[in-house]
A and B are shown apart, each in its own frame.
Chain A
């Protein structure tokens, strides 16, 4: 064919770090602490729920309600109503999507037009920028920066400058994207930090897109705060969640967007014109998982209680290992990544303008079996002891 084929909307967004690096990891049989997924299994109650769903009547293998399987949206509404402190309507205020990724896509496609500005806090999960671009928007960046340099570096030390943030808002600002707990830093925004962002959103009538996929993974008593629960914010926030991260089943690709009906309805329009339905059985299994967690919420039995405890140790172990070989880890308050040295280069999470400041940091995922962490430790020790071949 002689004519130009592709649409302009996909120009400049064809490169992708995961495609490149996961191929490299596979090619070199690397011990993979790169891409963020657990190398252990989902909890048995959720795996069992999936198997049970498969063997139920034919309906588990056929189309379900397009905007979310009824059992799932009902339990999500119940579960999060209790947390957010308001009655969430399962049919109007929730959209189930193919992973949080697709919820983000629906959000940008539904709300960002050509010429709209979207503020993105750096470092950011890499897809935000190409999604804004594909929607014709302009990304405006504002970096988190480390403030104090005590002996133990923590993600809590990385903050936004209020003046700098305020300066990024303009009459063209449509939305701001925040991610808490943050990937790759692990920062968990405090209530007063979210309050500052909320005030700017309200002042400038801006929508807040809050990516909270790691909401259950906080350490050392750090509390996850939902910006949608702050005064004036429910009506202007889209909160995004993930069953993959919640239940250590990233391969199920079940996520959701939650927010006021008058905004969610636009996300639904995108959804019904792009994928329409999400897989039924996986949604049923996630619903069963959430029902169980609703019943044991706050108790020792809760997976949301156990998983961070399980990961807390791994986090410390990886940090010690990096320190012992002379690298400086930044201890994350939440999530499953740590910045230190060498697996996914962190400059991918920054805009071209700020990339140079952050080139020496790299991101590790510690949500791995102990044997994997041990293998990583062995490699790093050998490397630091000079036993590895020099290239």
Chain B
């Protein structure tokens, strides 16, 4: 017995800042994939367990009275000190745990704090397509204007074996996007969904433009440890002139395969981080204590093993490389063309060659949305349409691509393989 309100009061309408931001690709697709009969390679989370020492760390923390109560707002001391140690080594610089680090609710929370702190009406923010879908709504919610530029497939790449490295920015096009209103550029490396790892020279080109136009750089590096053989993750903040203008974002969820812990961090110079801290203290104030303690302990353990094969940062990447190669082979066998990622845990695949006729599904949606829905229904295999990660102008360029997540158990990959092998047998 729910009362319906014939005329919602004008005062109960949404605020301007969230106008048009209610739709979301995940809302559309995650409930569908919750059906257990569907093999879910859609949303990006592992179905492999987190390392046991990280789970144990949490169980231990929960038994300490003080760790069930509020901790320091900008980050639990154990955690920020561990982050300063780990990243101090990676950046090769002394990081002040209290002034140059902010702990947030996932990498997502870091992106939000950054936008709210540093972007406002009149600011333009350059976003590279395909982009993790939240960048555009977050820039809009902060009053900024997203300016999009697509990665483009080099025409020189071999049709049969495409790598994420074959997707590049056109340098002239990139330079043309910068102007006096440009407040920041967001980069994501390794990139979701393509898996591209920006090379040092690519990052240098971006850095040169940031310095020339005096803009900020927001570097989303949540997949920083998931780097495959022959590739190197480079932090743009370590390039000359970049530390003072860069916020680098990391994630415990991606680092330790615990996306459900929702802890992330922003690292950068005090004069920028202090503004993110102001947003934090006026939005959620502090993150959960026992989870932060456990992540801190986990980081300290892996810090000692950094560079060695049994460091989780290294061992996870090794484990995933095998899954990456397996997935690429399965997709090729079906007739799709995978883009083999240099990093991260997603792979996009071009479905053009399958020639799947979806005209019966109408024409109010891009091809990949229709393909994904059709594949869920007919093949019981879930993925995500890549045009969810691009602006309208780039839809045609990306609508033959779907995104698959491969941080899955072997049994999940076996089930996916079975579906892909029998694809043409209907």
Residues of A within 8 A of B (CB): 1-3, 5-10, 13-14, 16, 18-19, 22, 35, 37-42, 47, 50-51, 54-55, 58-64, 66, 87, 89, 97-99, 101-102, 105, 109-114, 127, 130-131, 134-135, 174, 205-207, 235-236, 244, 248-253, 260, 262-263, 265-266, 268-270, 272-282
The docked-state distance in angstroms from the alpha carbon of A71 to that of B195 is 35
Closest 4 CB pairs of A and B: A251-B289, A280-B260, A7-B120, A102-B284
The interface residues of chain B lying within 8 Å CB-to-CB of A51 are 59, 62-63
B 114-161 contacts with A by CB, 8 A: 116-120, 134, 137-138, 141-143
- How far in angstroms is the closest Cβ of chain B from A257? 13
Mask, B1-34, CB within 8 Å of A = 1, is 1110100110111111110011010110000000
A174–B271 Cα distance when bound, in Å, is 35
A266–B15 touching, CB < 8 Å: yes
Chain B residues with Cβ below 8 Å from A3 are 214
Instruction: Return chain B residues, CB-CB under 8 Å to A236.
Output: 9, 12
From 257 to 316 in chain B, residues with beta carbon under 8 angstroms from any chain A beta carbon are 257-263, 271-272, 274-275, 278-279, 281-291
Chain B residues positioned under 8 Å from A249 (CB to CB): 68-69
Q: Is the CB of B8 within 8 A of A61?
A: no
In the assembled complex, the CB of B16 is this many whole angstroms from the nearest CB of chain A, namely 6
Residue ID in chain B nearest A130 by CB atoms: B282
Please state if B281 and A269 are interface contacts (CB–CB under 8 Å). no
CB-based nearest B residue for A251: B289
Complex partner residue of A61 from B13, B72, B258, CB under 8 angstroms: B258
How many CB-defined contacts (below 8 Å) exist between A and B? 228
Q: Which residues of A contact B12 (CB under 8 A)?
A: 111, 207, 236, 262-263
Which residue of B69, B116, B278 contacts A37 across the interface (Cβ within 8 Å)?
Answer: B69
B105 touches A278 (CB 8 A): yes
Q: Which residues of chain B are near A135, meaning CB under 8 Å?
A: 15
Tell me, in angstroms, the Cα distance from A354 to B172 when the chains sit together: 59
- In the complex, the chain B residue whose C-beta lies closest to that of A135 is B15
B284 in contact with A110 (CB, 8 Å): no
Q: Is there contact, CB below 8 Å, between A174 and B68?
A: no
**Chain B residues near A114 (CB, 8 Å)?**
16
**Besides A6-B118, A253-B287, A273-B21, 16 other CB < 8 A contacts?**
A2-B214, A13-B282, A60-B260, A62-B45, A62-B46, A98-B287, A102-B284, A109-B17, A127-B285, A135-B15, A205-B9, A236-B12, A252-B68, A253-B284, A263-B12, A273-B141
- Residue among A2, A35, A260 with most chain B CB within 10 A: A260
- A61: chain B residues within 8 A (beta carbon): 49-50, 55, 257-261
Q: Are B69 and A102 in contact (CB under 8 A)?
A: no
Flag whether B244 is at the interface (Cβ < 8 A).
yes
- List, sorted by A's number, 17 A–B pairs whose CB atoms are closer than 8 Å: A1-B244, A5-B216, A6-B117, A7-B275, A10-B282, A50-B62, A89-B2, A98-B288, A99-B284, A109-B17, A134-B282, A174-B11, A270-B18, A272-B24, A274-B283, A275-B112, A276-B106
Please measure, in the bound complex, the distance between the C-alpha atom of A251 and the C-alpha atom of B141, giving whole angstroms. Answer: 29
Contact assessment for A13 and B278 in the assembled complex, using a CB-CB cutoff below 8 Å: yes
In the complex, are the beta carbons of B18 and A109 less than 8 A apart? yes
Which B residues are in CB contact (< 8 Å) with A62? 45-47, 258-260
Chain A residues with CB below 8 A from B423, complex form: none
Residues of B within 8 A of A270 (CB): 18
Q: CB of B323 within 8 A of chain A?
A: no
Chain A residue at minimum C-beta to C-beta distance from B24 = A272
> A7–B62 Cα gap in the complex (Å)?
38
Interface string of B97-116 (1 = CB under 8 A from A): 00000000110110010001
A6-B118, A207-B11, A273-B137 in contact; A251/B258 too (CB < 8 A)? no
Question: Which among A40, A98, A130 is the interface contact of B65 at CB below 8 angstroms?
Answer: A40
A10 adjacent to B62 (CB under 8 Å): no
The residue in chain B whose Cβ has the minimal distance to the Cβ of A282 is B288
B194 at the interface (CB under 8 A from A): no
A275 in contact with B272 given A38-B69, A63-B45 (CB within 8 Å): no
Give A255's nearest chain B residue, CB to CB: B284
**Complex interface: chain A residues within 8 A of B186 (CB):** none
User: In the complex, A273→B259 CA distance in Å?
Assistant: 17
Q: How far is the CA of A242 from the CA of B117 in the complex (A)?
A: 27
CA distance A131 to B170 in the complex (A): 42
Q: Are A105 and B142 in contact (CB under 8 A)?
A: no
List the B side residues contacting A2 at CB < 8 Å.
214
Please pick, from B14, B68, B108, B287, the residue contacting A269 in the complex, using a CB distance under 8 A: B14
Instruction: Please tell me if B48 contacts chain A, counting CB pairs below 8 Å.
Output: yes
Once the chains bind, are A7 and B282 in contact (CB under 8 Å)? no
Q: What A residues does B216 contact at CB under 8 A? A: 1, 5
Given contact pairs A1-B216, A40-B65, A235-B3, A279 touches B15 in the complex (Cβ within 8 A) = no
